[in-house]
Amino acid sequence: MSFRIEEKFSCTKFEQKKILVDLQKIGLKTLHPKREIRSIYFDNNHKRMFEESQEGSVPRKKIRIREYPMYDKSISLETKISSVEGKYKNSIAISGDQKLKLLKFGRVDRLYGLCLPIIEVSYLRHYYQLDKVRITVDEEIVYKIYNSKIFKRDPVNVIELKAPADVSEGYLKKLVPISRRRFSKYARGCELLSIS
């Protein structure tokens, strides 16, 4: 398990464009073409993962199924963990049948108990690299209550910086000089859909 620095924050489309133009001047490169991402987030009946995300508690988890529908047919079950030491992600490839079973019966977690699918989030992600820092930009974000037709489009975009633990926070703030606002797509979706 390798810990890394992750900074994720929302921005307007204007802020996003300006940031990318400034970063291109100092060597920002496109890693690969943009792709659609679809994630289904799980939580227990008390929405404990949502509550812990809002409070910024550590340790905390998020459990989701992630797919890249236009890119390939791979499906993964991911657990994102935020701890005192840092953040890391466990990802396990699963089959379509395993996905259907998880969506129907849920997943039992040691800390949270039975977790069922709550919301589906889809968006387009752009991938960039600058030195040791990976930068992603998510746009056209849509939140949907799982297994319903109720959805909300997000007016903001999301920029995320991922860097090895030895990269200084000062360097990251210099790269993207906008105020840091903690951002979770799962928590944002719960709020916009009024299911918190």
CATH number at residue 47: 3.20.100.30
Domain residue limits at 47: 4-192
d(Cα 102, Cα 115) in Å, to the nearest integer?
9
What's the number of domains the chain is made of? 1
d(Cα 152, Cα 134) in Å, to the nearest integer?
28
Strand blocks (E) in the chain: 4-11, 29-43, 60-67, 75-83, 86-94, 107-109, 113-130, 133-145, 151-153, 157-164
d(Cα 41, Cα 39) in Å, to the nearest integer?
6
pTM recorded for the entire structure = 0.90
Task: Classify 164 as helix, strand or coil.
Answer: strand
Specify the pLDDT at position 125: 96
pLDDT along the chain (196 residues), means of 10: 78 93 96 95 95 85 93 88 80 95 96 96 97 96 97 95 89 86 88 89
Q: 128, 29 in Cβ contact below 8 A? A: yes
In which region does residue 47 sit, left (phi positive, over 0), alpha (psi from -120 to 50) or beta (all else)?
left
